[in-house]
Amino acid sequence: ITRLIHDTSCAISLLLNSLLIVLIFTKTPKELRSYSILLFNFAIIELTTEISCLYIFNRILVADGFDLNAITGPCRLTGSPKLCFVAYVVMMHGHSHYCVLLAFGFCYRFDVL
């Protein structure tokens, strides 16, 4: 059930961020061009993170004081631990980058107001 919830939320995120990118390019008024660049960056980071998240499906297991990462997604079928690690790094970078962008977005909106 965890995998179903994970994959469903990732698929919904992919669809909504794709829709957001289309709307940014087609419906953004000229007054909001600078903010649309920030929104576009949000959408691209989230798309990249969700694709890598779907690809690896990381599970954290705790054993005797150690945290172990178990890759149970389609990445394990490639047989390449380096590729799975790179996808994991992309996912973790996307999560941290999103947090920074979220703070920047709040600061930008505060400055505009």
- Say yes or no to pLDDT of 15 above 90: yes
Task: Give residue 58's pLDDT.
Answer: 85
What's the rounded mean pLDDT across residues 91-109? 88
Mean of all residue pLDDT scores within the chain = 89
Sequence-ordered list of residues with C-beta below 8 angstroms from that of 44, at least 6 positions apart, any chain:
21
Q: Are 75 and 54 in contact (CB under 8 A)?
A: no
Task: Give residue 23's pLDDT.
Answer: 95
What's the rounded mean pLDDT across residues 40-58? 92
Strands (E), the chain: 58-63, 66-71
CA atoms within 13 A on the CB side of 109: 9
Please name every residue paired with 93 in a beta bridge, in sequence order, or none if there are none: none
Which is more confident, 113 or 22? 22
What's the rounded mean pLDDT across residues 45-51? 93
